[in-house]
Amino acid sequence: MKTYDILCGRHTLSFGTRTLIMGVLNVTPDSFSDGGKFFSTSAAFAHGKKLVEDGADIIDVGGESSRPFSKAVSVEEECRRVLPVIENLAKHISIPISIDTKKSEVARQAILAGASIINDISALRSDNKMAAVAAQYGVPVILMHMKGTPETMQLKPFYNDVISEVKEFLENVIIMAEKNGISRSKIIIDPGIGFGKTVEHNLLLINQLHEFTSLDVPILIGPSRKSFIRNILFNKPAGDIKDRDIKNDMPAVETGTQAAVAAAVLHGAAIVRVHDVAGTYKTIKIVDAIKQVHSSTVQGCKNCEPTTVNG
């Protein structure tokens, strides 16, 4: 994997030696993945600290749900949800905080509160002032592919060639970001698993993730608890959140998430965005070790300890 260093305020993210983990912190009442468990400021702060203890390299704070068919909230409401959490976390943790938002004013206020990365699922297209905010404050941006909007993206998404179309989109938004004063050294891309894709599209993007390495920026991927995992495991469409047995399904869905994470890392992901940081930390430790071992380091190793097989 190519190495990159990205400055995030007083923090530096180094890519190439190991896969980084972005821990998800939803401060919303309608998150499909956690049922709004961390909607209160105090609960969100406590969970954010736990994500750091579990091994997160970045905390991604979001105040507006992006689940399929979700509706937007106002700037004022989104700020009310996320700013106290970011401000409190920034004083107590030693890793960067990203703000998951499509709104430039939310991003601006979040940066002033202590965030140092913008994670924009609309790739700077939803708000024409977002690029200017990112450039003004010199913060990294995560540019994601999404077909449509959260309210419309899962209405029969279609591609002639999902890999080439998503790659072309990301190439174009990188160029757009650079034209708006954002350095390429501050750009991270995300193919947008679950955002305007069928089950097959998601699987192909993970399987062919290495195709995006030629864009020469770090790749983030977020398969965590996405509906395609539930669809495969239970052989049924995800349906509306009211139809899901979240509590009973979650152990299986989380196992499926770890499988998707492992595959994504093997195919070139530099960052994985997940809910279960502790579990992902263990998965990545093994997968990174597999990726980094070379035959030259073990051939003729007379002092290597033999592997013990139990059972």
Question: Mean pLDDT, to the nearest integer, of 71-82?
Answer: 93
| pLDDT over 70 (residue 239) | no
The side-by-side arrangement of strands in the sheet containing 20-26 is 187-190, 141-144, 117-120, 97-100, 58-62, 20-26, 271-274, 220-221
State pLDDT tens for residues 93-105: 999 999 999 999 9
CA angle 55, 201, 103 (to 5 degrees): 60
Catalytic residue IDs: 226, 273
| DSSP run (H or E) holding 118 | strand 117-120
Q: Span 75-89, mean pLDDT?
A: 96
Please, what sign has the CA dihedral across residues 278, 212, 167, 15?
positive
The pLDDT, as a whole number, for residue 35 is: 46
| pLDDT at 253 > cutoff 70 | yes
Yes or no: say if 92 and 115 are a contact pair by the CB < 8 Å rule: no
- Asked whether the beta carbons of 222 and 21 are under 8 A apart, the reply is no
Domain ranges of the chain: 4-298
pLDDT reported for residue 23: 98
Topology of domain 4-298 in CATH is: TIM Barrel (3.20.20)
Axis crossing angle, helix 75-92 with helix 41-54, rounded to the nearest 10 = 50
pTM: 0.90
Q: Phi first, then psi: give them for residue 131, nearest 5 degrees.
A: -60, -40
The residue type of 288 is D
Range in 70-84, 144-158, 182-196 the model is least confident about:
144-158
